[in-house]
C-alpha cells in the first residue's frame, strides 16, 4: 500500500519506519525539519516508569497552590484562556481516582512495551552512541512531597522497573557536583536517556530514507477522500494520492482531525528549556527536581534545564516568568552556573485524560491517528508507531487499541 504519514516528530518517524518494516511504500511529510518540535526540546528520558498522569488526584488538590505559588511549575497564558479553559476543566475532571486508575493502567500497557518499539530501530539506525544507559533520578527537596510520591512507587513498579530509594548522602555520592538540596531521591532502573534527541530523530530518518522511504518537507493542507478508498493529500506545492494516511502531527493534529469530520480536545501543554554549555557533563544522568517539575539533563551541547507546564497557545513567544523560574531552579542546584545561552519553547500534544490517541478515524476507515502523547511521547513514539503499523498492515496488534481510540473522549 502507498501510505502517507503526516508529521516527522518521533511518533511519525517511528510509524514510518515500522510501516516500512511491514513492507509498505511510505511518504513522510513535515513542514519543519524532522524531529525539530516537541521531539527536539524534551528532557530526553526514556521513562518506562512514567505511568502516572500529571493530572493525578494530588494535582487536583494542589491546583490552587500550584497556580499561586511562585516556585510552582504550573503557568497559564491568559491571552487565550477562553479557548483553553474548557480543556483545563476537562483535565481537572480527569484527576478523579477512577480516571487516574484507568489512565495509569493503559499507560502501563504501553510503557511496558517501550523497548519493543525502539530496540530494533535503534540498532539498525546506529543510535546507541547518542544514548546513555544511566538511570533517571528523581529528587525531592521536602519530606512532605517525598512521602506523598512514595505512595505511587508500587504503581510505577508495575511497568517492570525497580525503584531504588536514595538517601541524601547517596545522592551526593552519585552526583558529587550538585548542590545537594534533596531530602531523598529515587533511581528508576532500566530508564535511560538521549544525549542528543535531534540526532536520534535524524538517524531514524536516515534509516527510513536509506530503505527507500520518501521525506517531503511540505505542509499538508488538506486530505480529500476520493472514490475507491483513495485519499488525496494536498500540500503547498503538490497533490498526491495514497491508500492510507496517518495523522501523527503532534499538537497540530487537531485541525487535520477536524478536517476529516472528527473532533478532538487536543491542546498544548507548553514546555520550555534553557541550555548551559558551561555545565556540560556536570552530572551523569537526568535529575528531576520533583517539587519544581524541572529536569536537568546532561546533553551533548551542555546542561539542559527544562520542563514545567504552561497551558496555552502554540505560538513561539516565550514567557519571561518561565525562563526566570528555570534559571532560579538551575542556580539552586548549580550555583556555579553562568547565564544560559539558549532558550526554547515547545508544545506537548495533550488530551485531557493524558492517554494518546492511537487508532482509526470513525469518519474514514482509511485515515489513522497517532498523536496526543503529552509528557511521555519521547518514550512512547516507538511502540505507538509499531502499534499503528500493525493496525494498518496486520489488523492484529500487540496491545488492544480500544482504550486509545478517539471515541473514548
Ligand X SMILES: Cc1cc2nc3c(=O)[nH]c(=O)nc-3n(C[C@H](O)[C@H](O)[C@H](O)COP(=O)(O)OP(=O)(O)OC[C@H]3O[C@@H](n4cnc5c(N)ncnc54)[C@H](O)[C@@H]3O)c2cc1C
Q: Which residues bind ligand X (CB under 6 A)?
A: 6-12, 29-32, 36-39, 41-45, 47, 219-220, 248-250, 252, 256, 271, 273, 306-307, 346, 348-349, 371, 373-379
Alpha carbon distances (Å) from 73 to 184, 217, 220, 289, 389: 20, 35, 34, 11, 36
What is the rounded distance in angstroms from the CA atom of residue 45 to the CA atom of residue 198? 13
What is the rounded distance in angstroms from the CA atom of residue 55 to the CA atom of residue 63? 10
Contact status, residue 13 vs residue 34, Cβ threshold 8 Å: yes
Judged by CB, which is closer to ligand X: 196, or 374? Answer: 374
Q: Minimum Å distance from CB 348 to ligand X?
A: 5
Which residue has cell 530509594? Answer: 165
List of residues 6+ apart from 382 with CB closer than 8 A: 10, 14, 114, 116, 117, 118, 121
Q: Minimum Å distance from CB 362 to ligand X?
A: 21
| Backbone φ, ψ for residue 235 (5° rounding) | -120, 180
| Backbone φ, ψ for residue 234 (5° rounding) | -115, 135
Cβ burial, residue 335 (10 Å; 0-12/13-18/19+): exposed
Q: Minimum Å distance from CB 141 to ligand X?
A: 20
Contact status, residue 90 vs residue 54, Cβ threshold 8 Å: no
Contact status, residue 230 vs residue 242, Cβ threshold 8 Å: yes
Judged by CB, which is closer to ligand X: 11, or 171? Answer: 11
Q: Minimum Å distance from CB 356 to ligand X?
A: 8
Q: Minimum Å distance from CB 256 to ligand X?
A: 6
Q: Minimum Å distance from CB 169 to ligand X?
A: 27
What is the rounded distance in angstroms from the CA atom of residue 72 to the CA atom of residue 65? 8
Judged by CB, which is closer to ligand X: 220, or 399? Answer: 220
Q: Minimum Å distance from CB 31 to ligand X?
A: 4
Q: Minimum Å distance from CB 167 to ligand X?
A: 25
Judged by CB, which is closer to ligand X: 7, or 185? Answer: 7
Judged by CB, which is closer to ligand X: 56, or 379? Answer: 379
What is the rounded distance in angstroms from the CA atom of residue 36 to the CA atom of residue 33? 6
List of residues 6+ apart from 312 with CB closer than 8 A: 76, 77, 79, 80, 84, 268, 270
Amino acid at each position: 500500500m502507498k501510505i502517507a504519514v503526516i508529521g516527522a516528530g518521533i511518533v511519525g518517524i517511528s510509524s514510518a519506519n515500522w510501516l516500512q518494516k511491514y513492507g509498505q511504500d511510505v511518504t513522510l511529510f513535515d513542514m519543519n525539519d524532522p524531529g525539530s518540535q516537541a521531539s527536539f526540546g524534551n528532557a530526553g528520558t526514556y521513562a518506562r516508569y512514567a505511568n502516572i498522569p500529571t493530572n493525578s488526584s494530588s494535582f487536583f488538590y494542589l491546583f490552587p497552590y500550584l497556580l499561586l505559588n511562585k516556585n510552582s511549575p504550573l503557568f497559564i497564558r491568559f491571552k487565550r484562556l477562553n479557548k483553553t479553559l474548557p480543556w483545563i476543566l476537562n483535565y481537572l475532571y480527569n484527576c478523579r481516582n477512577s480516571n487516574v486508575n484507568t489512565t495509569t493502567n493503559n499507560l502501563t500497557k504501553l510503557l511496558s512495551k517501550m523497548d519493543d518499539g525502539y530496540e530494533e530501530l535503534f540498532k539498525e539506525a546506529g543510535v546507541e552512541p547518542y544514548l546513555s544507559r544511566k538511570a533517571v533520578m528523581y529528587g525531592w527537596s521536602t519530606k512532605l512531597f517525598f512521602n506523598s510520591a512514595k505512595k505511587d512507587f508500587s504503581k510505577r513498579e508495575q511497568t517492570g522497573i525497580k525503584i531504588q530509594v536514595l538517601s541524601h548522602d547517596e545522592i551526593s555520592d552519585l552526583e558529587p557536583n550538585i548542590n545537594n538540596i534533596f531530602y531523598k531521591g529515587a533511581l528508576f532502573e532500566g530508564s535511560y536517556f538521549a544525549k542528543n534527541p535531534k540526532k536520534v530523530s535524524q538517524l531514524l530518518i536516515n534509516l527510513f530514507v536509506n530503505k527507500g522511504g520518501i521525506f517531503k518537507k511540505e505542509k499538508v493542507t488538506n486530505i480529500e477522500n476520493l472514490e475507491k478508498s483513495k485519499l488525496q493529500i494536498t500540500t503547498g506545492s503538490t497533490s498526491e494520492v495514497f491508500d492510507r494516511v496517518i495523522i501523527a502531527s503532534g499538537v497540530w493534529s487537531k485541525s487535520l482531525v477536524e478536517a476529516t469530520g472528527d473532533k478532538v480536545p487536543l491542546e498544548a501543554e507548553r514546555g520550555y528549556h534553557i541550555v548551559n554549555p558551561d555545565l556540560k557533563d556536570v552530572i551523569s544522568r537526568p535529575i528531576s527536581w520533583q517539587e519544581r517539575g524541572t529536569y536537568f539533563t546532561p546533553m551533548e551541547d551542555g546542561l539542559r534545564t527544562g520542563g514545567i507546564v504552561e497551558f496555552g497557545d502554540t505560538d513561539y513567544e516565550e514567557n519571561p516568568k518561565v525562563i526566570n523560574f528555570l534559571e532560579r531552579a538551575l542556580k539552586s542546584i548549580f550555583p556555579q552556573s553562568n547565564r544560559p545561552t539558549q532558550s526554547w519553547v515547545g508544545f506537548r500534544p495533550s488530551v485531557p485524560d493524558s492517554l494518546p490517541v492511537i487508532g482509526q478515524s470513525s469518519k474514514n476507515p482509511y485515515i489513522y491517528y497517532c498523536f496526543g502523547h503529552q509528557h511521555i511521547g519521547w518514550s512512547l513514539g516507538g511502540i505507538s508507531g509499531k502499534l499503528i503499523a500493525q493496525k494498518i498492515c496486520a489488523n492484529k496488534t500487540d496491545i488492544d487499541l480500544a482504550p486509545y481510540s478517539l471515541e473514548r473522549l
